[in-house]
Every structure is written in C-alpha cells, then in structure tokens.
Amino acid sequence: SQQGEEDPQALSIQEGENATMNCSYKTSINNLQWYRQNSGRGLVHLILIRSNEREKHSGRLRVTLDTSKKSSSLLITASRAADTASYFCATDGGANSKLTFGKGITLSVRP
C-alpha cells in the first residue's frame, strides 16, 4: 500500500519561481525522504527529515515536516529548467527498513 500522497500531481512553473510540493501520510514515521527521478532513470535521494525535526535545508531545497498533521512539504527555490523531473516522498516507518513511496509529482520548469 502507498502511504505517501503527493500534491499536486503536476506542477508547471516559470524558471526562477519557487516550487512547493506537498506530501501527506497516514501512519507514524521515523523519517520522511524526498527523491527525484528524471524521465526513464532511477531515483536520486534529495533530503531526509527525521520525525523529531521540523525543517531542514539543503542548497535550494527546504523541507518541512508536521507530524501532527502527518504532512511534509518540499520547496525548491529559484527553480531552473534542470529541476524538471518527478519528485517522490517516501516514509520510513522503521519496520524492516522498508520505504513506502507516494505516486509522485511531475514538475515542469519552463525556461
């Protein structure tokens, strides 16, 4: 079963704008991770936030986690055409080291 649900399903923005993607989940987690996938390629890990953290930064990425609302958001600032990809959130419940992925968000950044 898929726990993470991303929102929106697709997002199209102009280069230079910020992109905000949301993820909701259903059960308790140890951490939440965001991955990126370019078309036809494998996933690449972007950032991990632990259940006791509220915000984390990595370069142009900012991720927040609200465990009371069971939701997370990923913000990409000053987007570039190269940011065009699919983005997935994945939750780690700590059991058997499995990740549960959402269906993904397709981000298109127009030059």
Partner 1 sequence: DGGITQSPKYLFRKEGQNVTLSCEQNLNHDAMYWYRQDPGQGLRLIYYSQIVNDFQKGDIAEGYSVSREKKESFPLTVTSAQKNPTAFYLCASRNIGQGRGSSTDTQYFGPGTRLTVL
92 token code pair: 């780690």
Q: Which of 7, 20, 48, 77 binds partner 1 (CB under 8 A)?
A: 48
Which residue, 12 or 38, has its beta carbon nearer to partner 1? 38
100 phi and psi, to 5 degrees?
-115, 120
Query: What is the nearest approach in angstroms of partner 1 to the Cβ of residue 94?
Result: 6
Which residue, 17 or 55, has its beta carbon nearer to partner 1? 55
Q: Which residues of 71-83 are buried (b: 16+ CB within 10 A; e: fewer)?
A: bbbbebeebeeeb
68 binds partner 1 (CB under 8 A): no
Within a 13 Å sphere around the CA of 56, how many CA atoms are in the beta-carbon half? 19
Q: What is the binding site for partner 1 (CB under 8 A)?
A: 1-2, 30-31, 33, 35, 40-45, 48, 50-52, 88, 90, 92, 94, 96-104
